[in-house]
Structure 1
Amino acid sequence: LAKIKALYRRVRENAATAHIFGELVIDTTKRQVLKSGVELALTVKEYDLLVLLAENAGKTLCKDYLFSQVWGSDSFSEPSTLTVHIKWLRGKIECDPGNPEFIVTVWGVGYRFESGS
């Protein structure tokens, strides 16, 4: 019974290791992001921010929440750091960063990750 439970746990843990949004693939097991099959060079914070947004696709996440989850509540970084990282991330994952299809700004609130469909 213990072996079966362990096997079930491993299968369940590995089941959702990749988030696929068209040409954008986020593999959380490998900590790897691919765009059109090409690996993107993301910083740790960019990756963490992207995963947080993607795992909450379709939900609007407020700036304070995103900042505290990625940088921590005791961070000495400025809140504008989030805006800068969103800009850099859009530059890497979006076909047209000026008209983003994945990371959408919800004015006065925060950001929402769209599936790109």
Structure 2
Amino acid sequence: MPIPVARRRAEQMSHRVWVDVEPGAPRHVMSVLEHALIEQVSININYLDAGGTPTRREVEPMIFAFSGGRWLLVAWCRLRGAIRWFRFSRIHRATATRNPCAGHDIADIGEPPASARSVR
């Protein structure tokens, strides 16, 4: 079966586009994050902070954001009692709980940058 023209062109272009993006989370972690975001249940994560110190948090996922070449989980951190931004690349383990999220309003995150927009 021949490859459709659009797919062939996309494959040709893929070798001619460079993207400077930080590595994301492993697939098994991403699956948990995606599930928890959709189902609105909290997640236990093993995370390395900016100083490289391992920490364990229970967080309530609010949004995924892409900023500065990095994918981030924006979540309510039950340990800190506040919204925190977690780099995907620093999340080494994630386990979904059955604990429902408290329903924090996305507006509480603040205003997105002027250049940001929904992927819808």
Shared fold by TM > 0.5? no
Q: Which has the larger radius of gyration?
A: 2
More helix, by proportion:
1
Q: TM-score, normalised by structure 2?
A: 0.24
More strand, by proportion:
2
